[in-house]
């Protein structure tokens, strides 16, 4: 890969973030909205930052941070469903995509850390 923009995981996580931003665009729950968007934004941002570090060790570290943000995001999605900020079908789609991204990140981390 010559740029992080060519990574499928970066593209998918960027799209997920944009979709969440749109889903919460009308929300007046500013604190929650801000937190869930920051969690989603952290995923592609950390992928990009790690890639640009030009160090496999640093790249893997930032991918782990991005993976952690996937877990944070999923937790917030469950809460958004419980307090009826999002519909069940919306939550299901976002959860499915965040799990897929997390698996992609784990695969990439595994390849980077292979001896």
pLDDT per residue of the chain (115 residues) written in tens, 0 to 9: 689 999 999 999 999 999 999 999 998 999 999 999 999 999 999 999 999 998 999 999 999 999 999 999 999 999 999 999 999 999 999 999 999 999 999 999 999 998 7
Domain 4-21+30-113 in CATH 1.20.1440.60? The answer is yes
Give the per-residue pLDDT at 115: 74
Q: Show Cβ contacts of residue 10 under 8 Å, excluding neighbours closer than 6 positions.
A: 4, 44, 47, 48, 51
CB distance 70 to 98 below 8 Å: yes
Q: Which two tokens stand for residue 90?
A: 């919306």
Give the per-residue pLDDT at 21: 95
Domain ranges for the chain: 4-21+30-113
Which phi-psi region, left, alpha or beta, contains residue 84 (left: φ > 0; alpha: ψ -120 to 50)? left
Q: How far apart are CA 58 and CA 60, in angstroms?
A: 5
């Amino acid at each position: 890969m010559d740029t992080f923009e060519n990574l499928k995981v970066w593209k998918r996580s960027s799209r997920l973030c944009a979709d969440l931003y749109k889903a919460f665009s009308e929300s007046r729950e500013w604190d929650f909205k801000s937190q869930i968007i920051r969690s989603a934004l952290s995923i592609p941002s950390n992928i990009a930052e790690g890639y640009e570090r030009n160090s496999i060790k640093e790249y893997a570290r930032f991918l782990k941070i991005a993976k952690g943000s996937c877990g944070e995001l999923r937790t917030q999605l469950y809460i958004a469903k419980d307090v009826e900020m999002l519909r069940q079908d919306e939550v299901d789609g976002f959860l499915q995509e965040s799990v897929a991204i997390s698996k992609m990140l784990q695969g990439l981390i595994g390849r980077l850390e292979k001896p």
